[in-house]
Amino acid sequence: MGEVIGASAHGPGDFVFPEGVLTLAPSPVPFKAGPEGALILTASRSAAQELLVTCPPLLEILAGM
């Protein structure tokens, strides 16, 4: 197995690359689930924008406020 660079643990409900939601950026690094797996939720850009408009606290979370 290759070297793990910048490994960190994420808990339930954590955003892995929150800035990517706001900028439509691709993942800056490969991401791999741990031994127990992961649940990945995806949405279209328009759905993500709708969530940000209708739920201001979500925007604060993603913007790191």
DSSP per residue, the chain: -PPP-S-----TT--SSHHHHHHTPPPSS-----TT--------HHHHHHHHHH-HHHHHHHTT-
| pLDDT at 41 (0 to 100) | 74
Q: What is the mean pLDDT of residues 2-29?
A: 70
The model's pTM is 0.45
The answer to whether the beta carbons of residues 64 and 18 sit under 8 Å apart is yes
Residue type, 40: I
- Which tens digits make up the pLDDT trace of 18-39? 777 777 778 777 777 778 887 7
Do 50 and 59 meet the contact criterion of CB atoms below 8 Å apart?
Answer: no
